[in-house]
């Protein structure tokens, strides 16, 4: 997956297509998971720090920026903000969850997936 400035992403897609690959632009509202989100990520971290985060009471929290659980609430706040600028380690996260015993996964969001 590629994220960044629209013109650069389009140019990368053209290169992929020129090499007989497949590039599918996603309808997103921002350059998520790229350095272009650094300013909003810093703002989010400030808000998260004001709100605070306690230790997970029911189960560990897994972060897609590392693909691993993090028990330290302070580190968790930083990781939450970093998720805006970092690649998503979906496979690592799912593998860690499965390794640690998770067998049922529920996808929830604003619309059907």
How far apart CA 81 and CA 63 sit, in angstroms, is 10
| pLDDT tens-place string over residues 71-99 | 999 999 999 999 999 999 999 999 999 99
Q: Is the pLDDT of residue 113 over 80?
A: no
Radius of gyration of the chain (CA): 17
Give the span between the Cα atoms of 23 and 20, in whole angstroms. 10
Q: What is the pLDDT of residues 24-40, one digit of tens each?
A: 988 888 888 889 999 99
Question: pTM for this one?
Answer: 0.74
């Amino acid at each position: 997956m590629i994220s960044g400035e629209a013109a650069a992403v389009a140019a990368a897609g053209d290169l992929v297509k020129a090499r007989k690959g497949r590039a599918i632009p996603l309808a997103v509202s921002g350059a998520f998971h790229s350095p272009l989100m650094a300013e909003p990520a810093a703002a989010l971290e400030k808000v998260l720090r004001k709100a605070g985060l306690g230790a997970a009471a029911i189960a560990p929290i897994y972060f897609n920026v590392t693909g691993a659980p993090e028990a330290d609430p302070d580190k968790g706040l930083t990781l939450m903000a970093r998720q805006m600028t970092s690649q998503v380690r979906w496979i690592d996260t799912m593998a860690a969850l499965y390794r640690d015993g998770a067998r049922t996964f529920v996808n929830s969001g604003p619309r059907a997936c």
